Amino acid sequence: MKNKRTELKVTAIRSGTVIDHIPSEFTFRVFKILGLEQSDNPVYFGTNLGSKKLGKKGIIKINGKFFKPEEVSKIALVAPKATLIEIKDYEVVKKQQVDLPEKIDKIVKCFNPRCVTNNQNISTSFSVITDQYGRAKLSCHFCEKTMSLENIDFL
């Protein structure tokens, strides 16, 4: 009887970033908010992959791309337990879990239609707060409305 292969092999990236431990249901959202569908670089992704940590997870590998702080903030808002792994010359040079920043500026739209940021040329600004159940939420600096991370709309 032949040995059966139980793992899928994906080409290693020479230089770029791996986003690991994305909850499966948010893999496509992370892909979209980072604009990876327009990337000219090779992008590999998988979803509903087995994970000891999450049960199921998503992963995205982008060759030739390193993320700016505002892009990392976007990832953290959608997948707060994701891990970023930077690769250079096929070697891991940095590995870190994303962190929710204390403040989010210019990347999320306020859901309140009456907020001044939706009616004038004013950049959005939010504080990241925790509700009584320990869930992260965004509080608008201008109208003081709060919204859950599931309901955010990126600019």
User: Which tens digit of pLDDT belongs to each residue from 85-109?
Assistant: 999 999 999 999 999 899 999 999 9
pLDDT for 79 equals: 92
Per-residue pLDDT at 1 exceeds 70: no
pTM: 0.84
Per-residue pLDDT at 3 exceeds 70: no
* Local confidence band at 129 (pLDDT 50, 70, 90 cut-offs): very high
Task: Tell me which CATH code domain 16-97 carries.
Answer: 3.30.70.140
Residue ranges of domains in the chain? 16-97, 103-154
Burial class (CB in 10 A: 0-12, 13-18, 19+), 16: buried
User: What's 107's DSSP letter?
Assistant: S
Question: Is 103-154 a CATH 3.40.50.720 domain?
Answer: no
C-alpha 97/C-alpha 85 separation (Å) is 9
